[in-house]
């Protein structure tokens, strides 16, 4: 059996990120012990402070370990020792990198480092769950269609190989995720070593992740997650043409957190590549949902440039079948995210 259950100890890399913090909090809520890897002690202490403020009864089951350079050989040797399973999510997320290696080196190197450490020192590890992405499957050079776990975005890799620094920001990010999952750093590495390790490998590929914040930024301007896109679109920037991308697949952060935890607990998830996504949307869909819920202070006219035809779509059929995930509606995500903004006092000046 490669599955785990509470009170097992789970290593969460990138524990201070948007998704990482949700994973830490939910694992603790369910009775697990959590070891979080962070780049600095300040980030680890910040997690402990948040837990003390929000979940004081579970903070004693959390510890952090500092991994300043996730690409260094042996970086996770200490972190993996004595844990029962690993969720690896530490990887850069940006569409503005100038050099592709700004993304590829840490994405590939970090994944490789985790697996090498698990190979050497993970004698108690039962399963490693890595964070993929729908961008590893969905090709930007093809017409809109439905993509699933059998697809690979080789186009992005070829685009970066051909253009280098002149490739688009999206292609650089997409290529980093493809290379981290498909190449020697994940599935190829695991398949070459699986005869000598006690653990198996699973990848969860989220789409664009939205939802309530797991932390406490002092103001909307300090948000660095997708929540800042909703804040800007709903309450700050009235120009639809300024939003990027025009259409995308999205998932609620609470649903993708659930997918990761079930990937640890469901035996059949071992050795599988699984998409975690709700549906394909445009920014107009978000505005319509907010307007229908009465959450926008002003009605916004429909964006004439919003895509009208079929949208590129990632299939969530496997996650529903294998993990039993039931995805929240767009309205639920919008309502709860705006309620989170309101609970922080950010909407008072809008009369909301």
Q: Which two tokens stand for residue 306?
A: 């919003």
State how far the alpha carbon of 130 is from the alpha carbons of 14, 89, 283, in Å: 12, 6, 29
The pTM is what?
A: 0.94
14-39 residue pLDDT tens: 999 999 999 999 999 999 999 999 99
Is residue 345 domain-resident? no
Calpha distance 193→34 (Å, rounded): 26
Is residue 234 domain-resident? no
Is residue 69 domain-resident? yes
Q: Which two tokens stand for residue 225?
A: 């997650």
Is residue 348 domain-resident? no
41-92 residue pLDDT tens: 999 999 999 998 888 878 889 999 999 999 898 999 999 999 999 999 877 7
Q: Is the pLDDT of residue 97 over 80?
A: no
Is residue 18 domain-resident? yes
CB neighbours of 304 closer than 8 A, spacing ≥ 6?
A: none
- Per the CB < 8 A criterion, the answer to whether 341 and 278 are in contact is no
User: Cα angle vertex 211, ends 321, 352, to 5°?
Assistant: 140
**What pLDDT sits at residue 100?**
86
Q: Could you list the residue range(s) of the whole structural domain that residue 184 is in? A: 9-212+250-281+313-328
Is residue 65 domain-resident? yes
CB neighbours of 60 closer than 8 A, spacing ≥ 6?
A: none
| For residues 107-124, average pLDDT | 93
CATH of the domain at 154: 3.40.50.720
Is residue 340 domain-resident? no
Q: Is the pLDDT of residue 335 over 90?
A: yes
Is residue 337 domain-resident? no
Residue 128: which of 270, 320, 322 has the closest Cα?
270
Q: How many domains does the chain have?
A: 1
């Amino acid at each position: 059996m490669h599955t785990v259950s509470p009170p097992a100890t789970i290593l969460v890399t990138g524990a201070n990120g948007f998704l990482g913090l949700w994973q830490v909090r939910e694992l603790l809520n369910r009775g697990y012990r959590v070891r979080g890897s962070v780049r600095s002690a300040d980030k680890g202490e910040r997690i402990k402070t948040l837990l003390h403020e929000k979940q004081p009864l579970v903070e004693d089951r959390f510890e952090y370990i500092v991994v300043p350079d996730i690409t260094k050989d042996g970086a996770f040797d200490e972190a993996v020792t004595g844990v029962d399973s690993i969720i690896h999510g530490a990887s850069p997320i940006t569409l503005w990198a100038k050099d592709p290696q700004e993304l590829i080196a840490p994405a590939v190197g970090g994944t490789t480092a985790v697996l090498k450490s698990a190979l050497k020192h993970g004698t108690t590890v039962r399963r490693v769950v890595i964070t993929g992405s729908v961008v590893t499957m969905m090709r930007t050079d093809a017409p809109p269609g439905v993509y699933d776990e059998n697809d690979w975005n080789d186009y992005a890799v070829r685009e970066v190989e051909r253009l280098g620094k002149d490739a688009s920001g999206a292609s650089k990010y997409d290529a980093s995720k493809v290379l981290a999952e498909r190449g020697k750093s994940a599935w190829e590495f695991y398949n070459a070593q699986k005869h000598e390790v006690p653990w198996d490998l699973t990848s969860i590929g989220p789409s664009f992740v939205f939802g309530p914040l797991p932390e406490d930024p002092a103001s909307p301007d300090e948000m660095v997650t997708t929540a800042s896109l909703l804040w800007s679109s709903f309450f700050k920037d009235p120009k639809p043409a300024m939003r990027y991308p025009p259409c995308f697949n999205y998932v609620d952060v609470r649903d993708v957190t659930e997918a990761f935890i079930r990937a640890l607990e469901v035996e059949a998830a071992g050795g599988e590549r699984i998409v975690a996504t709700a549906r394909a949307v445009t920014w107009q869909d978000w505005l319509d949902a907010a307007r229908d819920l009465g959450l926008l202070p002003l009605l916004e006219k429909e964006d004439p440039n919003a895509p009208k035809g079929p949208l590129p779509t990632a299939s969530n059929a496997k996650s529903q079948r294998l993990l039993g995930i039931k995805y929240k509606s767009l309205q639920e995500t919008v309502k709860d995210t705006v309620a989170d903004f309101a609970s922080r006092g950010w909407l008072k000046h809008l009369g909301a």
